[in-house]
Amino acid sequence: MAITITVNGQQRSLDVEANMPLLWAIRETLGLTGTKFGCGIAACGACTVHLNGRAVRSCTLPVSAADGGSVTTIEGLATDGTLHKVQQAWVEHQVPQCGYCQSGMIMAVSALLDQHPNPSDEEIDAAVTNICRCGTFARVRRAIESVARS
Amino acid sequence: MGKWTRRAFIGAGSLVGGGLVLGVAGVALAPSRHSVVSDDAADKGELTTWITVTPDNLITVLVPHCEMGQGTQTALAMMAAEEMEADWSLVRAKEAPALDAYANAYILHGFIGNSIPAPLLRGFDYGTYRIARWFGLQVTGGSTAVRGTGHYGMRIAGAAAKEMLLSAAAAHFGVNASELKAGASLIVHAPSGRSATYGELASAAAKLPVPSSPAVKNPDAYTIRRTARPRFDIRSKVDGSAVYGIDFKLPGMLHAAIDIAPVYGGKLVSVDTAPAEAMPGVKRVVKLQEAVAVVADSYWHARQAVAALKPQYDDAGQSGVSSASIFAAFDKALGTAPEMPKDAATVITADYRVPFLAHATMEPMTCTVRVESDRAEAWAGVQDPLNARATVASALNLKAEQVQFTNLMLGGGFGRRLPFTFDYVDLAARVAKEMSPTPVKLVWSRENDIQHDYYRPAGMARFAGSLDKGGAPLAVRSHYAGGGDGESTFMPYAIADKKADSRNASHPIRLGQWRSVLNSQHGFFKESFIDEMAHAARKDPFLFRRDLLSDQPRFRAALERAAALADWSSPLPDGEGRGIAIAESFGSIVAEVAHVAVSPAGKLHVRNVYAAVDCGDVVNPDSAAAQVEGAIIFGLSAAMVGEITIAQGRVVERNFRDHQMIHLADAPRISVEFIRSNAHLGGLGEPAVPPIAAALTNAIFAAVGIRVRDLPIKNQDLSRRATASGAHLR
């Protein structure tokens, strides 16, 4: 079926099965590979994108649920080549190691900070449940706090 | 590249388009008697550590190690740039291609450090290099890159390049080289005010003789090393542009998903391929001896179709194997507790158990292969491109030279992508062969990954220890099953009678190398038991250890530093405690203190971890600290919740819901401090893992009096109810 989604500000028309997870529409149909596949059951958060400004795990969300909506992926977070403040904090604190989970981590954090510019520890813990195997959590927290303070 | 000039074990040449290329080979014999080496070494390309200087004044360092976030490529470039007196902003790093010429000469050297007498070193490097080439190894593992390739390769290559550039400048200006000064990729002749960039001098330098033993810098003069330099790979990892193995694309490429026999060694008995073949986008169902794959026009289509299959496999005769049967065999093999001296005033014994663990890299295993009649190409992110290439060749009955392998970014390694564990590369090659010449990308599901790992071995240890009347330790002995060696079982303490005996209890579960390898089990065993001995002696666990480390100044200094960082003796509220542990692995000594709080209901919260690390010296301090932080989290996740269990011969856990990981909410604040002992450089990717489990369980004991001897901790009741019942006093 034809699905219309605004992806990173551009309207795109996709001819895909309605039950295809949004992740595969983004990665395979649109070719935006910054959004990652980690588990396929919405447990790890590597596939996190923004749908209408909210963080969603795209590996289990049917693409039809995004029909008519607006999706932002990691590739669309910077504006005119200037990194988003969360991306800047990630560079400043040298957060990523292997980096595979970090697109999802950054999308989860940027959605959190849009809604709670100065989140409590509990709000951070509840909103950022992405898995990182390299163990960057100590820096993730420091980077979140640096953005919240600024 | 022009004709090589050569001296000693360093080779140099001209680049097409101008410039200097310089390499250090693991090639050399005793220098005085044999003058050098196979004189044609350079022509054969037997140079393994490469630096190029191009006319645009850029220095490119080719690193024969992969980047998986450990910061290796940046650190090795820093080591070369330091010796070259380079302008750091003009330095780039590139991963060396998967060619025999880039086999790691220094991997063994990294392990052995400076224990080889100097006259034998070059011969040793040469021997190692031949072995590495023979086996086709270009490994990133064993925490060896900086201490091996960096120390013995990059440093020397950088120093040689600087001397050649100085000689070229001396000739160019018609002055004595001693009047010149190199700095910031520029050579200045101060008396005349003339200067030339490295790029301007590179082509002339390439025609000069290569110094046989260039002088390296005194560490006190370092300006690049020991300063925090941002990693080269960070930017692409925050904007989504980094290309991992799973992101690789070729025109016309097809996608494969796979189902693999659940019991290792099991074979496909039957499968009705019709349900998959009827599904959208499916091109072919490929039956393999141990698996069935679906090739489709998209991975989503392949994934759905493979889920529609109901393949039947045999169980390789292993249906009776379970975690319980494996641990029962361990228990039996360990026998009675080790004997203790007859005159001991106090004897204690304890058993410890650790489970199998999966690597669970965030990027599932993936590999793209294109097979043509007499050649193949493959792309993946691996820790050893040469052995991956050999795996593809073997799967296709080709020679290694007929296969081209390109390494891509790795979404985590931790030992899963090391040589001889390339089952996913082998499967991808066999599936792609069926679709030849169309390229196929095989992507594993998370379930494939969790259920078909090369697991961290489960293990068990049975300890006995004894004390005299004054609480001084007389003996500590153990029997262990599940693997161990001299390094992992080493206890640095001055106890007269120390012994660790391996007992054999084999099982069919497939095993591999997992971050810090055997040290992850034994760090927990030995540092738990020494803690139990301290408590039996009624002594403070930190002071008890410290007093046994008089002969081990580096251990003692690290232990004291960690205790000081943690403010060890300051009082804590009820339900909180600190635990300490120390271990040496991969040439580095790490002491860690964990500070925990345990709620009355038994909920564990790790508040802080403090680490004191002696890896000799640090190349890139911030990146080094990140490795220690990451290793602590990795080890905490394993100790708290990590567990692979076996039932009916197969792995029970399937995905991140039942194979758990800790999250941000569970992660402590971490403080890391490095001790500059100036000992030989040690590794850093792994050594902070081994102490953390024991630091944590020792802290739990300090907090609530419950001694956790079986990991993971999630299986233990830490509530006050458990304390009151005495269940912990087994």
Instruction: Report CB contact under 8 Å: A98, B239.
Output: no
Q: Which pLDDT belongs to residue B160? A: 86
- Helix-strand-coil percent breakdown of chain B, rounded to 5? 35, 25, 45
The tens digit of pLDDT for each residue in A92-130 reads 999 999 999 999 999 999 999 999 999 999 999 999 999
How far B289 CA lies from chain A's nearest CA (Å)?
A: 26
Q: Are residues A116 and A64 in the same domain?
A: no
Question: B231, B257, B286 — which closes off a domain?
Answer: B231
Q: Are residues B399 and B543 in the same domain?
A: no
When divided into structural domains, chain B yields a total of: 3
Q: Are residues A34 and A57 in the same domain?
A: yes
Instruction: Report CB contact under 8 Å: B240, A124.
Output: no
How far A41 CA lies from chain B's nearest CA (Å)?
A: 8
CA distance B265 to B318: 9
Domain limits for position B124: 5-231
Counting as low any pLDDT under 70, the low residues of chain A are none
Question: A30, A47, A76 — which closes off a domain?
Answer: A76
Residues A84, A88, A91, A94, Cα dihedral to 10°: -110
When divided into structural domains, chain A yields a total of: 2
Q: Are residues A12 and A68 in the same domain?
A: yes
Indicate which CATH number applies to the domain containing B50. Answer: 3.30.365.10
Q: Which pLDDT belongs to residue B648? A: 98
Q: Are residues B547 and B686 in the same domain?
A: yes
Structure tokens at B690: 């081994």
Total Cβ atoms within 10 A of residue B681 = 22
Q: Are residues B255 and B225 in the same domain?
A: no
Domain limits for position A145: 85-149
Counting as low any pLDDT under 50, the low residues of chain B are 1-9, 25-48, 107, 111-113, 117-127, 130-131, 134-135, 727-730
Classify each residue of B269-291 as buried b or exposed e, where b means 16 or more C-beta atoms within 10 Å of its C-beta: eebebeebeebebbbbbbebebb
Note whether B57 and B64 are within 8 A (CB): no
Q: Are residues B226 and B254 in the same domain?
A: no
Q: Which pLDDT belongs to residue B383? A: 85
Q: Are residues B158 and B220 in the same domain?
A: yes
Q: Which pLDDT belongs to residue B49? A: 52
Question: B231, B254, B278 — which closes off a domain?
Answer: B231
Residue B514 falls inside a structural domain: no
Instruction: Report CB contact under 8 Å: A134, B69.
Output: yes
Instruction: Report CB contact under 8 Å: B633, A138.
Output: yes
Instruction: Report CB contact under 8 Å: A43, B656.
Output: yes
Note whether B473 and B450 are within 8 A (CB): no
Q: Are residues B375 and B256 in the same domain?
A: yes
In B530-585, the DSSP E strands lie at: 576-585
Q: Are residues A72 and A89 in the same domain?
A: no
Q: Which pLDDT belongs to residue B720? A: 86
Q: Which pLDDT belongs to residue B547? A: 98
CA distance B29 to B546: 44
Question: B428, B443, B458 — which closes off a domain?
Answer: B443
Structure tokens at B189: 């002749």
How far B549 CA lies from chain A's nearest CA (Å)?
A: 31
Radius of gyration of chain A (CA): 15
* Residues in chain A closer than 8 A to B230 (CB atoms): 91, 94
Q: Checking DSSP bridges between strand B5-7 and strand B10-14, what pairing results, if any?
A: antiparallel
Question: Between vectors from CA B511 to CA B510 and to CA B514, what angle results, nearest 5°?
Answer: 145
Report in angstroms the alpha-carbon separations of B528 from B6, B502, B525, B644, B700: 54, 18, 5, 22, 11
- What is the interface size between A and B, counted as CB pairs within 8 Å? 181
Note whether B684 and B615 are within 8 A (CB): yes
Q: Are residues A72 and A97 in the same domain?
A: no
Q: Are residues B258 and B220 in the same domain?
A: no
Q: Which of A8, A39, A50 to mutate to test the interface with B (most CBs of B within 10 A)?
A: A39
Q: Which pLDDT belongs to residue B15? A: 63
* Residues in chain B closer than 8 A to A141 (CB atoms): 664, 667, 669
What pTM value is reported for the model?
A: 0.92
Q: What is the DSSP letter of A79?
A: B
Note whether B122 and B9 are within 8 A (CB): yes
Residue B339 falls inside a structural domain: no
At B445 the three-state DSSP class reads coil
How far A68 CA lies from chain B's nearest CA (Å)?
A: 22
Note whether B189 and B175 are within 8 A (CB): yes
Biggest alpha carbon distance in chain B? 88
Q: Which pLDDT belongs to residue B14? A: 65
Q: Are residues B218 and B269 in the same domain?
A: no
Q: Which pLDDT belongs to residue B677? A: 95
Q: Which pLDDT belongs to residue B33? A: 22
Q: Which pLDDT belongs to residue B154? A: 84
Instruction: Report CB contact under 8 Å: A135, B298.
Output: no
A94, A130, A135 member nearest B633 (Cβ): A135
Of B162, B148, B74, B160, residue with least CA distance to B109: B148
Q: Are residues B152 and B286 in the same domain?
A: no
Q: Which pLDDT belongs to residue B266? A: 98
Of A29, A1, A58, residue with least CA distance to B301: A29
B247, B409, B664 member nearest A124 (Cβ): B664
Instruction: Report CB contact under 8 Å: A138, B661.
Output: no
Q: Are residues A91 and A71 in the same domain?
A: no
Residue B360 falls inside a structural domain: no
Q: Are residues A66 and A112 in the same domain?
A: no
